[in-house]
Amino acid sequence: MDVIRVYGGTRLAGEVPVAGAKNSALKLMAAALLAPGRTTITNAPGITDISIMAEVLRRLGCQVEVDGGDITIDTPEELSPEADYNLVRRLRASICVLGPLLARCRHARVAHPGGDAIGSRGLDMHVAGLSRMGADIGSEHGFVVARAAQLTGAQIWLDFPSVGATENILMAAVLARGTTVIDNAAREPEIVDLADMLNSMGAQVSGAGTATLEVTGVESMHPTTHRTVGDRIVAGTWAFGAVMTRGDVTVQGVRAANLSVALDKLTDAGAAIAELPDTDGVPAFRVTIDRRPTAVDVVTLPYPGFATDLLPMAIGLGAVSGGVSLITENIFDGRFMFVNEMSRLGADIRTDGHHAVVRGRERLSGAPVRASDIRAGAGLAIAGLCAEGTTEVSHVHHIDRGYPHFVEQLRALGVKAERCTVPDDDFGY
């Protein structure tokens, strides 16, 4: 079993480049299904989820090449309408092929998705939105099956600003007949990124970044070349790591504005945040702190609120801050599953429903811990830097799904970290 081993007592310091957003690149790859021909996506992250999504597209009939941060997708005139069960169950984001396949093929058969174990994430809003556009959708033998002789524009209200539902409905709507309006749509930068790519392919999408998206359907679309927006969650991870370790980190590739609430919390904790001038079009910001951080309260909310994906880092910050933090999770019911692992490091955490009370300690204690999902794994590794002794994080395949070159970037920021293989029995899980 692979583990990431970190040695505590060293601050993060230096510059760290952040690649394109996982939560955008995967959806951009699905959008390539909407136009026959060669689409190129640049600035993609080098993570395992990209490889899985590439194979999903290959099984649909595309030719896909991944070369560093560049992905080329040759989409055929005729696509297979069925997304492979064994691949889709490994990657929740692959459900986003449902909208494009339905729009292009008038028929789609997509396995129910897998992904992180962080709680219930149903497809009800995906189904309701596509049904409003004229699709007949059901479930059979573990697959979502959708058919529509012709998708038509509709007025769609989402009960919750779901990112996945917004993306699927948006990608189906670009080839529908008439105009579709999505109210209470997700507003994340990744939604704006997807809309920008769709418009560059010939779509007519307006309102991205607001709660109302308007899509006027077009007859056909064409391939494009598009650069993926920087990963604000990875950037936020390094920003929190800088504050937890009392460090000095310059994060390159993400605009501070895309993390405004999280960075405001770090400012309240005692950090200095400085937005730096772009270098060759690449944005950057710097996070510095030279004392123990002060406890802050955090409430996760849909964008532009505090991102649920940064909750493990917020709990890690509370665990080493002076004072008591109240952390409230409003998005996923299983997000606190990793708390027992953080407690293994000596963190004082008490949970009650969707609240966690974290009493800060001057220093944590290194221990073997297990990553239960992508963000929990990264949060545990960063917390290990604040612990006496050595921390070993197992099940690091989760971290590989969201953080390219994680150990190498830790080292570049001046801490001692390594990835190694140990026998399962040695670890205790």
* 22 known member of a binding site: yes
Catalytic residue among 2, 84, 116, 159: 116
User: 296-305 burial by CB neighbour count: b if 16+ within 10 A, else e?
Assistant: bebebebbee
**Is position 23 annotated in a ligand binding site?**
yes
What are the angstrom distances between the C-alpha of 370 and each of 1, 111, 315, 423?
A: 12, 28, 16, 15
CB environment 262-286: b (16+ within 10 A), e (fewer): bbebbeebbbebeeeeeeeeebbbb
Q: In what order do the strands lie in the sheet with 107-111?
A: 82-83, 107-111, 143-147, 136-140
CA-closest candidate to residue 226, choices 195, 249, 251, 257: 195
Distance CA 262, CA 307 (A): 8
- Residue 416 is assigned to a ligand binding site: no
Nearest CA to 401 out of 50, 19, 94, 119 is that of 50
425 is in an annotated binding site: no
Answer yes or no: 116 catalytic. yes
- DSSP per-residue letters across 189-239: HHHHHHHHHHHHTT-EEE-TTSSEEEEE--S-----EEEPPB-HHHHHHHH
DSSP, collapsed to helix, strand or coil, labels residue 118 as: coil
Tell me if 424 is assigned to a ligand binding site. no
Number of neighbouring beta carbons within 10 Å of residue 85: 16
The dihedral region occupied by 320, where left means phi > 0, alpha psi between -120 and 50, and beta the remainder, is alpha
In degrees rounded to 5, what are phi and psi of residue 334?
Answer: -110, 15
Q: Which of 183-214 are b and which e, b meaning 16 or more Cβ less than 10 Å from the residue's Cβ? A: ebbbbbbbbbbbbbbbbebbbebebbeeeebb
Binding residues for UDP-N-acetyl-alpha-D-glucosamine: 92, 309, 331
Binding residues for phosphoenolpyruvate: 22-23
Binding residues: 22-23, 92, 309, 331
The catalytic residue positions are 116
